[in-house]
A and B are shown apart, each in its own frame.
Chain A
Amino acid sequence: MSQALVVGIISGGIYGLYALGIVLVYRGSSVLNFAQAEVGTFALFVAQSIIVGRDQPYLVGALAAIATAVGIGIAFERLVVWPLRNASRLSIVVGTIALLSLVVTLELKIFGTLPRQLDAPIAGDGFSVAGVIVTPMQALSVVAVAVIALALAAFLRYTDFGLSVVAASQDAEAVRFLGIRLSYVSIFTWGLAAALGAIAALLIQPSIGVISPNAYGPLFIKALGAALIGGLTSMPGAFVGGVVVGVAESQIRHATLSSQYVGIPEVCIFAAVIATLLLRPRGLLGER
């Protein structure tokens, strides 16, 4: 396996986490959440300011970041999604756009426009696996993505609450039969999606380097691309889509490394997203 391929698979797993947040919310509330990636970026700023600004351990900052994201997700759910549960879906979408703009503005106002630095939680030299160099951070991210994916899959499949999260949008009656309140399911969905965004942002940060609002905007393109490829409703599909996007990105980047035209991968993913929207709006793996 080539180095670029491995890098692509690793970052693809992180895109999968972002995409999973989009899929969860889309299944639960039939809404595409425009703010999915940006809430994670905001959380990342929080982590940076605690770890670097307050000189706290990385773990404290990371947990605070996840807690912040969950707080934003739940607050949005309580203040906008739940009151509008019987309104047109479009008004909630406009709401997520407003949330996106709110979060971007807060980032600029609270944390400023200057890029910020944050060291990776684990440093050290890379080790070689089958001829490919893997950094400790990349290894950590693979483990984290795998653990989260498996834990979530088990939770959603083997617990009543998890099943009701999966079923909520299709069969609200069945969820009530299980004695689970729909409002809890909705809170959980939005909170979990926000947490996934924060974790994904923390994991991708060392490979992006500096933290600035502009550097993280394109992540939404990749997350959306992954979710669309996966079919918008399929959770395993989100990871498949993430890996497809990640590998395509790293291969194209590798091939165009010497080009003066930056961001060719983003342009390609953009074209792919538009093509998918036009030709298969339910996504490549989604049911028609």
Chain B
Amino acid sequence: MMRWLTPYRSNILLIALGCAVLPKLTASAMPGLLPGSTSITLAIAVALAIAGLSLNLLLGYAGQISLGHAALLGVGAFAASVVVDRWNGPMFGAWAFAALVGAAVALVIGLPALRLRGLYLALATMVFGLTMQASVLRWPVFTRGSAGVEVPRRLWGDRILVDPAIFLSMVLLMLLVVWIVDRNVLRTKIGRAFRMLRENETAAQAFAIDVTRYKLLAFVLAGAIAGLGGALYGHAIGLVNSDVFPLDLSLRIVLFVIIGGIGRRWGVAVVAVLLSLNPELPSFLRGYDLVLAAAIVLYNIVRLPTGLAGLVDHLRDLRARTKPSDEGSEEMPKMPEFAAVFHEDPSDVLVDRRLLVVEGASVAFGGLRAVDDVSLGVKPGTVVGIIGPNGAGKSTLFNAISGFVAMDGGTVSFDGQPLGALAPHARAAMGMGRTFQQVGLARDLSVRENMLLAQHQHAGYGDAAALVYSRSVGAIEDTLGTKADELIAGLGFTSFAAKPVGQLSGGQQRLVEIAAVLATTPKLLMLDEPTAGLAPAAAEALGERLAALRDDHGQSILLIEHNVPLVLDLCDYVYVLNAGRLLAEGSPSALGRNPAILSAYLGEAVA
């Protein structure tokens, strides 16, 4: 049953159903449902719900705030007016044009967002909204020098006027389209990438996610939806000028999202419609809905950060808690089977060359030379260890190799290619997979979602295909899902596949992270202290697994580790780093014969 109703089919079904049912529904039943409301007030409310969904996509999924959303609506409304009123074009064409213009303007707001975070982004977008209202939207290009422009509900040219009830059904249909696009975003790599950049921008890059690209994509999508919403809003009102899109409309949209629940489609849409129908509220509340809403927000900022939808979840959790729980075991499951992950033949890797060559790498922070003229190499199919005391520069060296820290000198080449200043996500896409000391996963996403996320670069479909969830997207997503389930089964984590990663123990998170990085099918697996947080027995078992990865699959591994016995046991070659410089290098047996080095710089008793 559920197999038959694939996302692809359910999308088509929903649209068909919407086209068939909505016009009849709005013409007859709808106005009677909510006494006092007309088709037009309902259309306004639905247009604002679309605006709410736009901000929800930006803020709730990608974590980028906008306090200037009304300006985007304004841009959409003016764009629609230009097409319908000035060019006598078709109404649907006007909506497409409004979406396009909205996307373009949002792209411009998105550019500062690449540098600005949180509060500063909020300020920048608010100032943008104020400026648009105070000046740009007042320019004669938009207003034609009059008090406002008309956005008539004309289907085509100066002919057919659209009946309000039919217009409402069109607006509802557009809401449905936005809804479906939104849903498609969430269940494809786009939505996963959005949420990963909200959660952990650094780790996103290690999963080969181009942060710049996806941030801008979030703005563009939100801008397109807001532009469409603005066009519909304009058509519903009929006459617009810049004062139709003031700061308080932007704030109103933010309130929709905060009260409805950040990232919760249903909550946002419902709250947006309810708050926008304010003339239909009981008279003692009339006009004070936003005051009330603002008061609720003030009261709930801390208490209920996930809004109304969060409240529903909370109640569901309470009910679930009374049922006996079959999980909650904190102990480590059997040592994971990482081998399930290999998509490709290990013989792909160039065998006759060194996979990674670092020459004369230097990194300075201010006056401190954290990494000083370090050269090292990794041959394919070997495990290479880096050891050294805390502060020796091991992690900085890792960051330099994987592109997170710029080098002040030296070169890195990988797989025969010099990397230069290549961005981290591009290095990851070349096959450099790495873990982080602070586990590089999306903590709020489930184990399974993280596994899907890790396969980002194997999701070989375009953004446009993802937005409509084409058949091929469905097929690829199925494959990724199967792979994710295999990976999780291999880890023995099936029982908590749906648990947020943040709720797992530290050791479990580390294993999930290693499995996730392997899911990117790296040519070189770079592990930053993989046994930190593991019990001794588990650490030993992990060592065996890593050895098996090398022996059975030819996996190359570069490893930072404090557990010296493990390193000497596992590695084919070891570098000793101290105060940013290479102190010694050699095979473990050679280094093992030199206990002076080990005891002096590692402070470990080495048997």
Contact = CB atoms under 8 A, between A and B. Distances in A.
Interface of A: 32, 34, 79-80, 84, 87, 89-91, 93-95, 97-102, 104-106, 108-109, 213-214, 217-218, 220-221, 224, 260-264, 266-267, 269-270, 273-274, 277-278, 281
A87 B302 CA distance: 8
| A90, A98, A100, A278: residue with the most chain B Cβ atoms closer than 10 Å | A98
Interface string B234-273: 0000000001001110011011001000000000000000
Contacts of A90: 118-119
A68 to B, nearest CB: 16
A266 B261 CA distance: 34
Nearest to B251: A101
Given A34-B126, A266-B135, A104 B140 contact: no
Contacts of A79: 298
A99 B251 CA distance: 10
B63 to A, nearest CB: 12
Contacts of A224: 123, 127
| A84, A90, A220, A274: residue with the most chain B Cβ atoms closer than 10 Å | A274
Interface stretch (B9-17, B284-292, B347-355, B545-553): B284-292
A263 B133 CA distance: 10
B365 to A, nearest CB: 16
Interface of B: 67, 112, 115-116, 118-120, 122-124, 126-128, 130-131, 133-136, 138-140, 145, 243, 246-248, 251-252, 254-255, 258, 287-288, 290-291, 293-295, 297-298, 301-302
A97 B123 contact: no
Contacts of B298: 79-80, 95, 98-99, 102
A97 B121 CA distance: 14
B386 to A, nearest CB: 34
A91 B248 contact: no
Contacts of A99: 294, 298
Given A93-B119, A97-B67, A267 B131 contact: yes
A109 B254 contact: no
A95 B287 CA distance: 21
A263 B139 CA distance: 9
Nearest to B291: A105
Nearest to B140: A260
B135 A217 contact: no
A254 B538 CA distance: 74
B123 A261 contact: no
Given A98-B301, A263-B136, 10 more contacts: A32-B119, A34-B67, A84-B302, A97-B254, A101-B290, A102-B298, A109-B288, A213-B246, A214-B133, A260-B140
28 contacts: A34-B122, A34-B123, A84-B301, A84-B302, A90-B119, A93-B122, A94-B301, A97-B122, A98-B297, A100-B251, A101-B252, A102-B298, A108-B248, A108-B287, A213-B248, A214-B133, A214-B246, A217-B246, A218-B131, A220-B127, A220-B130, A221-B130, A260-B140, A261-B139, A261-B140, A262-B138, A266-B134, A267-B136
A104 B131 contact: no
A278 B116 contact: yes
Contact of A101 (B139, B255, B288): B255
Contacts of B252: 101
Nearest to B131: A270
A260 B145 contact: yes
Contact of B294 (A98, A218, A260, A281): A98
Contacts of B128: 270, 274
Contacts of B119: 32, 89-90, 93
Contact of B301 (A95, A262, A269): A95
B296 to A, nearest CB: 9
Contacts of B120: 277, 281
A220 B254 CA distance: 19
Contacts of B130: 217-218, 220-221, 266, 270
A93 B67 CA distance: 12
A28 B222 CA distance: 36
B281 to A, nearest CB: 13
A274 B127 contact: yes
A274 B123 CA distance: 9
Contacts of B297: 94-95, 98
A97 to B, nearest CB: 7
B130 to A, nearest CB: 5
Nearest to A220: B130
For the complex of A and B, list the 7 residue pairs with the smallest distance between their C-beta atoms, beginning with the closest. A263-B135, A101-B251, A102-B294, A270-B131, A104-B248, A105-B290, A218-B134
Contact of B243 (A97, A214, A269): A214
Given A90-B118, A102-B294, A105-B294, A263 B138 contact: yes
Contacts of A261: 135, 139-140
B58 to A, nearest CB: 16
A106 B251 CA distance: 14
B562 to A, nearest CB: 33
Contacts of A89: 119
Nearest to A32: B119
Contacts of A266: 130-131, 134-135
A34 B130 CA distance: 12
A266 to B, nearest CB: 5
B436 to A, nearest CB: 23
B246 A32 contact: no
| B139, B140, B288, B298: residue with the most chain A Cβ atoms closer than 10 Å | B298
Nearest to A225: B127
B56 to A, nearest CB: 16
A277 B288 contact: no
Given A84-B302, A101-B248, A213-B248, A262 B118 contact: no
B253 to A, nearest CB: 10
Given A261-B135, A263-B138, A106 B127 contact: no
Given A101-B251, A263-B134, A274 B139 contact: no
A221 B133 CA distance: 12
B120 to A, nearest CB: 5
A224 B134 CA distance: 16
Contacts of A97: 67, 122, 251, 254
A217 B112 contact: no
Contacts of A87: 302
| B116, B124, B248, B254: residue with the most chain A Cβ atoms closer than 10 Å | B248
